Amino acid sequence: MKRIFSLALLFLCLAGTAQLAAAEQEQPTIYTIVPGDTLWGLSQRFLKDPYYWPNLWANNQAIGNPHFIYPGQRLRIYSDRIEIEPAPGASASKQAPAAEAAREEAPQAAVFNTTGSEGFLLENGANPAGLIISLHQNREMAGTDDIVYTDLGLDQGASAGDRYSIFKKIGAVSHPLTNVILGQQVMPLGELQLSEVEEKASKAIITKSYQEISAGSFLLPYRDRKVTVPLKSSDRDLVGYIVQTQTGNTAIAVNDVVFLDLGKAQGAQPGNMFYIVRDVTPDQRYANTRIEKLPVEVVGALVVVSTGLNSSTAVIVKSVDTVYRGDRVEMRKNR
């Protein structure tokens, strides 16, 4: 009897090991991308989960931006994931030492690069560090290498050599649903460095200008214009709205900058990706029962590049239809 039990136990162990080995050696299905394919479409088609696509982007170096997939790229489809085959020649040379090859082939986190021209919302209650109060020789406009004067002084802790970014206010931004004023839209104008500092004022030189600078422009501690934003997986579900566009246009598309009503207080982080979605109204004429809700229509995606307390700046990285101010955005926790 003991011998029979031992044999049965051995058989179960071997069966479990065989199943594990089979799972580890799962052979993928190969699929070649064709015109019209999208990341969320591929995720829905093969994994029945359109919300998998942020993982597909983040884990595959063949995709520099989420909208940049092209016909001819090959996918390896597994039961729980999708991988994109590297382009020919992307792997390390066969002649390279093993350690060097491993170092070259190690995956890097996907990133999104900002241009520095996005701007942001200066939220209600947020105050600038200072203002440009006058231009040299009472000029109307100033540019690179021009002299300006600010209200930053020793009593505010300012010192010669301090650097500041220069901004201007575009106008108040109200929420498209509630009409509540969220803050002021601002745009970057340039950079300056303090050269002489007195008790309540200072002299400065404009070190860079992207647009004409005038008296009344406000200052914030220096920030780099171009920033590499690592792509971040979602750790929560969030829903918000596009409350304003950088250009002021109602209709926008890929590469346009928008502002959201979600910020640090709500859990939004730079590198988060959101779907841009719209509700679909059921046509009850052809339904036997009352249908309250249909799956949302995904019209695009965006990446958050900077966050305030209750707002954030984002760039549209994918659109399959025109995007509008007031469109809803959703982020789903990776499950």
Q: What is the mean pLDDT of each run of 10 residues along the chain (335 residues)?
A: 45 47 67 74 72 60 52 79 66 38 38 82 92 93 96 95 95 94 95 96 96 95 85 84 94 93 94 89 74 79 93 89 93 71
Determine the Cα–Cα distance for residues 159 and 234; give it in Å rounded to an integer: 41
CATH classification at residue 61? 3.10.350.10
**pLDDT score of 292:** 73
Residue ending a domain, among 64, 84, 104, is 84
Residues 44 and 63 in one domain: yes
What domain count does the chain have?
Answer: 3
Residue ending a domain, among 160, 187, 221, is 221
**pLDDT score of 285:** 74
Q: Tell me the pTM.
A: 0.69
Determine the structural domain holding residue 52 and report its residue range: 29-84
Residues 199 and 238 in one domain: no
Q: Does the residue 100 lie in any domain? A: no
**pLDDT score of 281:** 79
Q: Three-state SS for 245?
A: strand
Q: Does the residue 209 lie in any domain? A: yes
**pLDDT score of 318:** 80
DSSP class of 43: H
Which residues are CB-contacts of 218 (< 8 A; sequence separation ≥ 6)? 128, 129, 130, 131, 132, 166, 167, 168, 169, 186
Residues 209 and 235 in one domain: no
Residue ending a domain, among 58, 84, 110, is 84
Q: Does the residue 271 lie in any domain? A: yes
**pLDDT score of 267:** 93
Residues 238 and 208 in one domain: no
Contact 326, 260 (CB under 8 A): no
Q: Does the residue 169 lie in any domain? A: yes
**pLDDT score of 6:** 47
Residues 130 and 73 in one domain: no
Q: Does the residue 238 lie in any domain? A: yes
Residues 289 and 269 in one domain: yes
Residues 134 and 157 in one domain: yes
Contact 166, 173 (CB under 8 A): no
**pLDDT score of 171:** 93
Contact 18, 36 (CB under 8 A): no
CATH classification at residue 177? 2.40.10.410
CATH classification at residue 301? 2.40.10
Residues 266 and 283 in one domain: yes
Residues 277 and 191 in one domain: no
Residues 317 and 293 in one domain: yes
**pLDDT score of 70:** 64
Which residues are CB-contacts of 87 (< 8 A; sequence separation ≥ 6)? 62
What is the layout of strands, in order, in the sheet containing 82-84? 29-32, 74-77, 82-84
Residues 215 and 233 in one domain: no
Q: Does the residue 102 lie in any domain? A: no
Residues 199 and 265 in one domain: no
The alpha helices in the chain, defined as continuous H runs, are: 2-24, 39-47, 53-58, 98-105
Q: Does the residue 107 lie in any domain? A: no
Both tokens of 113, joined, read 């690069």
Q: Does the residue 108 lie in any domain? A: no
